[in-house]
Each structure stands twice: as structure tokens, then as C-alpha cells.
Structure 1
């Protein structure tokens, strides 16, 4: 009964460092089971109670709790329990004790070794991070250089004190986060009224502009009507005057024609002079036959395209960007490579301004050393960041002009030094033991913030350098005789592998606080280390001549490269393709392995990057 599986479906925890793949869940489930046991025991001690979990009777009678079995038993079953040799030594907690207990102490079911079934887990092997029984300390975890079993109470006391310290840090942090949430909720509650007010103002403004345009339209149409009437009247008068002259000419023409065709000689002599004088007078009269009128038309003093351009100035959305606080970080620039500069828009409170790309007008213009334009590409990132990318074609000083809402960012234009690809764009450290100095730098990694993490082996420390300036930001000592490899996980934790005496893999915070240590039995001489996004680790072990794929708790998943690698040192992981690249100093080559066993190159494949690899040592 000491190994009974509870409702959570988990039996006693194994004591060794074997790979189960579920250890974290087992720890959680055992604790949850203890909580369930405590709740069941307390309920069984209440008036009315619950049935005995063995005979399923005696609801009203007193119950006792068997800490070894994790069950409530009535008095009859308890008496039988004590008579059976296998359960005679089980710890029984009477009902009166259950009633007075405030916590789980005394009710937690005992944990037994899965290898030595009758042995309780009473020791903790610090080297293996595992609970063990007394028999294990004699066989598998004998005290020595590889194992260090100590009493559970001693380790638990230290862990409890550390957890208490962490609890003290949690309260102010939780309050800080809660205050931030409250502030965000308050700000969000102001969004709707702010939007409604801005919407009403915008509608009123553009209605006024529309009213002005409609009024102007009526004025222009009225002017067209007036001009039409005036021109029509003038043309009508002109027409009537010309028609009058035409009538006189027509009449003279008819009279003259009749006299010529039908008049006698006497008649011609009598009226001839009169007709001649009339016709000559009409012919000699100067007439204004032209109307002197041209079509009137509407003139676009402002074109539609011009108006559309000017309409961009008709109102705007006011934003809280402080131009004087905006920051631009120019990354090292190399000829022929895509280079970037990062702009962060800052609000009046000194925080990154989060907005949509249309609310902030950002422009970037670059010129090379001869004043020629260099094409730039602008892309908005999250948290108010803008990426300015460009590909310089020549070396030398370039100027980068950056504006936000038509105003220059402070110190704009910025001068960017573009170098040849053969020259280093940044040099970090020099030989020594002071701040920013290095003695035997080996492992290197890049953190989430972009800064550079270096293992300074000669000084037995880790240094973190600013990626833009190369200045030392922080440093802290590390354990282990020869620290070597380093990697940074997704949460910013620094994993440092060291070989020699006191070897292992240790996890530190960026400030240098030791979070965890890993030294499973499978590990002998770790060099390089890489951490996957899911928390798994890959460690290059030179003594085992292979790489170890480990669970987040340090237990072995599988060994990679055995029989192929001779002296593995550094590694890099391509998470996209589940591939791992390993440098081998003895083989003078690089091997690529699949992290998953079913990968097509899972058995290992050499990749020659340059001809004739040769080991080099340079301080």
C-alpha cells in the first residue's frame, strides 16, 4: 500500500537521475496529491465525516489517517492495519490530531524508494539533485567525489530559507505589476471618451470645411449666372443693331434693283440720284460686325491635386511624442551588407511611444561620403521602435538624417562610419584582469537584449559587453575550475559549462546569482553548451567524445555523435531545422547532427567551411 497510486495518477517519485521526461510534472503532482490528502483528512475529521476508505463503512465513527498509505481508516480497519506485518509500522494520525492541525505536517504520505521498496526517502544527493534512501547511500550514491548525500531536513531548511527570501521579493514585485495593470486599466478607460471627443472635434472641423466649400461653390455658380445674363444682354443689343442695318441695306437693294430692271429712262433720271446717294451712304457706313465676345470659363485657382496635398494640413491627430527624447542607435556598418539603425520614439513621460505607423511621420534620408543618396527602408517594429535599414556601396563617413513629424531627432544628422568587410566593426577588451579586460576568452553568446556575453576563463568570470560601444556593462565570478562555454536562454538566464575539477553546467542571472547547477552521472567534462527554447540543453563533453541532449532538469535524453566526435568543443543550434553544429578540434572539422533521431542527417555529417582547419590561440 506504500506505493498506492492516488487520484492524480502518480506513484512515489524515483530517486535517481534517470531520464523520465516528466520529472517537473511529477514534483508538482506529488505536491498536489499531498494537498488532496490534507483536504480529505480534514473532511473526514469533520462532523458527519466520510466513509472509511477501506471498508467503505462507519461514516459516523472516528477516523485516523495512515500517512504511509494516504488513506482514512475507521477504528476496526486501523486495528487490522496494525496486525498486518507489511503495514504494522505505518504512521497513524488520530482524529483528534487531524482536527487541530493547521497545515499538512504529519499528514504528508511517506515517500519510498522505487528501488528499495521498504526504504523511505530520507536523504538528498546534492550532486545528482535526487532524493535517495539509506540503502542508496551505500550502493548508488555512496559519499565521495561523485555523490554527496545529506539529510533531507538540512537541505530543505536551506531551500525553505531561500524560498522565504524569494517570497519577500515577490510582494513588492507583485504590487509593482498590479499598480502597472491598474494604471493600464485606468488609461484604457480613458480611451473611449478620448476617442469620442477627438471624433466629434474632427467631424465638426471637417463639416466646417465642407460648409466653406459649399458656400464658395454657391458664390462661383452665382457669378457664372450673372456673367451669363450680362453677356446675353450685350449680345442681344449688338444683334438688334446689326439687324437694323441689314434691313436698310436690303430695302435699298430692292428699290435699286426695281429701278434698274423696270424703270424708264425718265424714271431713272428722276430717282437715280436719290437711289445712288442712299446706296452709297449705306455702303460707306462703318459697321461693328464683330461681337467682341469670348466664352467665359471656370478657372481652378487651386487644382484638385494641389488641394488634396494641402488637405493633409487640414487637422491632425495630436500625439504625445517628445522629439527631444527620441533615441537613435546606429549599428556597425559594413560595405555591401544590409545595415540597420534603430529609432525609439519616446513620449513625454520618457517611455517608448506605442502607436500606429500613420500617427507618427518618420522619415530617414542617408547620403554617402560624396553626397549621393543611399536608399533606406523604414519599418515600424513593436514598442515604438522603427528599423531603418540600408546597404552602403562604398566605405567612409555617411550622414543619416532622421525626422519625426518633420522635426529633426536630436543630433540628427548622424554620422555613420562604413568599413570594409575585412575590418572588424567592433573590438572588445584587451589582455588583463581589470574592468573590460580579458584573459583567455573562450565561450561567447548574444543575449536577448543584443549585448555580448563572454566567458573570461583566465579570470574565472563572465563579462557582459555593450553591443554598440564594446564597453563592459557587468561582470561576476563563476564556479568551476575552467569555465568554457556559455549560452543564454529565452528568459535571459546564463548557462556556463566548466570542465576540470568541480565540473558541471550552472545557470546564473545577469547579475551573477546562481540559480541552478547540473551535474548528472552522464556528464564528465563539459565544454560547449547550448540551450533550446523549450529549456532542453545540449552539452559537448570531451571525455565522452559526444554531445549530451538533456532535459531542463539535467536528466539525459540521448547521446549524440558517439563514435564520430573526438574532441567536441563549441556548438550552435539551428532551432528552425532542429540541427546542431559542433566543432571538433581533433577532426579539424565541423559536424552537423539532427536533434531529433529521425532527421536525415541524424547520424552526423561533416561540413567543411574552409580548407585545412587549423587550431589557433590568440589572446
Structure 2
């Protein structure tokens, strides 16, 4: 059973690593191409004969890289002694396991056809008992390495099998290779160093020093590749997000177009279809560009990974002499820094919107917006006859586009729309309202100092719950500020007093607490179960996972300008929007970030003192701006 298993393992390894990609048979006289792939000499000869008239170069059948054919022909390509020795070892092991036909055990030293009992590793041939006796008597062969076929577990290091091919100088017989000329990038013996590499421009060193330097160069190249791999991951994530955001924007634009189409009824349906097609076409073209960039980045990294894998195999399996002989090719293949220059996402191409207009006669239904811009759509500075807002801090949007607003100065929660405000909830229920959020079934949740109070869409009080104290031993007084709810109706509450975020079910039951020293005012739930919050005093925007693992922490200050963040929210694509206040700005601003915390630009400027943020179902941005509530739309 063990012998059968050994045969199976040998066969699997042979098929996976020791077969020529052209003939799909075990390598015979393998030659190494510039791309570090190997093929049989005969296969390359047949291949190049089919590639006329370009006989001066050969294309690798595996990766399509081109290798120049030496003046001496294909024989001049470097031999892959590592593969040759490995194939020989596999053939020997198969014979020892009885896997080879009986006639392959015939003596190769004489013509008597006697059965071979041993194999001479130096002569690379099977020998019978008579030839073995002669081998051991002759002065020239008595030191040859002999392996008996009955020594089924005999093992000879592959380095020893190849050693005879490298120790001797091919130019000066019986001279050992002991130097490596850095100028000529070749191994040399003492005579070569004295005769051929003696001039000042030749720089050579001993083999151990050369291989040590070589390995250091390879290690540095591999380290740079690992850095490039990390850069690829960041670029790829950014491109994927841009594609996802583009799809959301395309869908939203099509939805806006459809809404306008219904207003104009039948006379604009044809134009609506044309405009949707244009949006989809642009979206498809941009998505194709993103996809091409992604594919190019992935191809570059995959190619680099192939090179790295091959080089790693060589560095682990090949001996020093073979490595030095292959150094020019290996180092050439490791010079992929420029090829591995990864393209980043053009974030501006991920936006697409629609600016609709009234259609008269042959006027177009609207125009496609290729650049994201925002404009002030509406200002709500009065409720139902009660005067201006005193301190509007939190804002949330219900499914019918009504806005729920907390006014800390008046200790009120109110719901307003374009027709005017509804009756607010006053001081008798709320003491110090701050953040407000709407769940999926239009339930309102308000942070009120130490409690979260729950209302229905008619502002009827339902219940309240108190987030449990953390188990860190802190006795700080609770101060609930930000609140957010995810798509699964799990509630996140920021406690800036005790410096933690608590996660709850919709009924208020505690799931877990996440301590964090930077917990401040604003809180939002991002993509991939991420919690995003602001720290006003430290001017930071922070993102962590539900398990408390840090994702990013970035400054909200611009060059020579302090930016103190307060409110934060996310759009459907996961992009982050932060309200920022600073005396150095001309009023407050709303800043736009990617889900990875990369600053994109400013959405709004000249605000009074922006706090809470939210999005309407149609994609408008609502800002609680202390004395008013402002609504911005893309244009």
C-alpha cells in the first residue's frame, strides 16, 4: 500500500511540475527562457520552426513573452539543470519502485544485454554486475557514485547530482569555478579571472560573497513586490467601490429620469428612453474603463506573482552556482516595479446624475451630468409658526421624505416637510435631545443624555432604554450623542462620556459594547459593518468594525486650516459625508470622503454651524445647521 501511495505521489508531482507545457511529457533536455519558463529543446525547435520568419526570437507558449535566440541557436539557451536533475531523480525512483518497464533495466555500458543491478550517477547510466566490477577497479571511475536498485530508499541530494556540472570551468579544464564577475555577470575560474577579467572595468568577487549579495538583491525585490501587492489591494478596493457607486448613481439617475417621465406623461416617453440609454451607455463605458484598469492591475500582479513563485522555487531549490548563472535573467524578471505601477480609480468617473428640465416641443428631457456638483435646494428656518430653530443638531429622514429634527435649544423633536411642521414633542418628554435616526419601519430613536427614547412616525412616545454601563471600570457619567441604525435594524449608540459605542437590538437589548477613546459626537454605520464617528476636539474622523478593529483614523483639517468635525452620515454607496466647523473657513462646510477615509472634496460651504447630516430617499443631502435646516441636491 505504501509503495502504491508513493507511485501516486510521484505521478502527481511529475504531472504538475515536471512536464513540458508543449509536449505534456516529462522534460527532456529542458532549456530556460527569459521569462523563467522551461521547455524541451526539441519542442522549442519545433515551435520556432512554426514561427517563421521570426527565427531570431521565440515566444513562450505559456506566458507569450519573447526570448531572443542566441547566435549559437537554441542550444545556446541556458540549460535548466535543476529540472534535468529532478527528472533524473524521479525516473530513478520510479525504477526503484518497479514502475519502469523491465527492458529499461538493461546495462547501458556494454552490448551484452545483461540486467542492470546499479546506476552510476556520474555516468548517468544503468550498469550490470560485470560493468560495476570494472567501474570499481578503473582509476578513472572507481570514485563514481553508485546507487544499487535494491536500495529503494537511497537518497542523494539534488545539489550533488548537479554539482559536477558546475564545479568545473567549461573553458579551462580541471579548474574550479570560484569567482563571479559582476561586470560580465558570469562565473569564472582562477585562470578566467587572471586572463579574461583582469582589466580595471571587471569587478569580480568570490562565489559566497556574490551569492550573498545576490540573495540580498532578490530579497529586496521581493519586499518591494509585497509593498506593491498592498498598493494593489488598496487600488483594487477603491476601483471596486467606484464601480459600485457608479451603479448606484446610474440607478438613481434612471429613477430620476423615470420620475420626470411620469410628470410629462406620454409625450416625453421616447426622449426618456433615449436619455436612459445615454446614461446607461456612459455608465457602461465608464464601468468598462474601471474593469479594464482592474484587469490590468490584476494581470500585472498575477504576472509578478508568477515570477515571484518561480524565483522563490529557484532560490529554494537551486544551488549557488546555478543561481549565479541565472542571475541576469532572474534580476531582469524581478525588475517589474515599473510594470507593476498600478492605476488608481478616477473617482470623478464614478459619478453620474441627471439634471431634468421641462420639455417643450423638441427640447431634450434633460442632460447627463458627468461631474458631481451640489447646490442649495431649500432652506427650512421656521417650523409651524414657532419661529426659527434655536439649536438644530440632529436630523433624520422618514420614508415619505418628512424630516425629523432635534432642537436642543428648545428641547424638542419635530417633524417638518415643505408644507410646514407638525406638533413638536416638548420638554416634558425630552430633556437634552441630540442625535436622531429612523429605523427601517419609520421608528424614531433619539439620544437624550443618558437614554434612548423611541417614537413612532406620529411622534407618539413608545418606550425608552438605557445603554448598559461598560465593564472597563470607568465611572464617567453617560452622555449619549450620535446614534445610527444599520440595514438589519441594529442600533449603534455613541457615548462620549464613557467613551464607548454600544450595539443594541431594535427592542433596546444590548448586544455588545466597543470602548474607544476617540468616541465623540457624530456616528454613522458604513459598508461592511463599519462604525464611523467623529472627534471634535482632536479633529479626527475614525472608522472601526463591529468587533472594534480599527479601519482608519484621518485628520479633518486642511492645509493651514483646522477642521472640527461633528455630524457624519453615509450614502447608499458607502461614501462618507462629514460636517466640519472652523473659524478659518468662511463658515462651516460638508466634506466628502471615500469609504477608506480618503478626502474627495467639499459638498457645501458657507454654512452657519453644521451638525447632523442625513440623506433623503431621492439622494438629497440634509444638514442641521443650528438656526436652520438646509437641503442640498446634486446638479
Higher Cα radius of gyration = 1
With the length of structure 1 as denominator, give the TM-score of the two structures: 0.27
Structure number with higher relative contact order (C-alpha < 8 Å, ≥ 6 residues apart):
2
TM-score (ref. length: structure 2): 0.26
